[in-house]
């Protein structure tokens, strides 16, 4: 059950990242530094989701990966909160994105033996 939830949360983060990168083309008229920085936020989300999928699969045999994932998740949770506040995003939007990141952080903190392959 928790392994499935972790996969869903990681996939949701990747999907958020893909939407973010895709929105770049709708929000910006051309290739500008602001557009690149906006797209980089989506790439950061995609890589965060990928870290979580890797941790889900290999965390029990790669403790360094597990702790790197915990760090990435914690930083991205804080970043999502700060970015939402800086842009004066609606509370529901901040809660959804930061909540997803927080869920990934909590799931990545679980003991490594609980995140391994199903028997």
Q: Kindly report, residue by residue over 32-71, the tens digit of the pLDDT.
A: 999 999 999 999 999 999 999 999 999 888 889 999 999 9
* Per-residue pLDDT band at 2 (split at 50, 70, 90): confident
Is 24 among the domain residues?
A: yes
Specify the number of domains making up the chain.
Answer: 1
Q: Kindly report, residue by residue over 13-38, the tens digit of the pLDDT.
A: 999 999 999 999 999 999 999 999 99
* Residue 112 confidence (pLDDT): 56
- Cα first-last separation, the chain: 13
Is 61 among the domain residues?
A: yes
Closest CA to 59 of 100, 12, 16, 104: 104
Which residue segment(s) compose the domain that 98 sits in?
A: 2-114
Q: Kindly report, residue by residue over 82-106, the tens digit of the pLDDT.
A: 988 898 889 998 889 889 999 999 9
pTM exceeds 0.85, yes or no: yes
Is 43 among the domain residues?
A: yes
Is 119 among the domain residues?
A: no
Q: Is 56 helix (H, G, I), strand (E, B) or coil?
A: helix
């Amino acid at each position: 059950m928790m392994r499935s939830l972790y996969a869903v949360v990681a996939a949701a983060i990747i999907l958020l990242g893909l939407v973010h990168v895709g929105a770049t083309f709708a929000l910006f008229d051309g290739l500008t530094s602001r557009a690149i920085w906006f797209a980089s936020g989506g790439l950061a989300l995609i890589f965060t989701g990928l870290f979580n999928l890797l941790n889900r699969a290999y965390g029990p045999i790669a403790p360094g990966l597990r702790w790197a994932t915990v760090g990435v998740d914690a930083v991205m949770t804080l970043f999502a909160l700060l970015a939402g506040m800086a842009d004066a995003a609606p509370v529901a939007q901040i809660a959804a994105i930061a909540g997803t990141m927080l869920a990934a952080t909590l799931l990545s903190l679980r003991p490594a033996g609980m995140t391994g392959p199903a028997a």
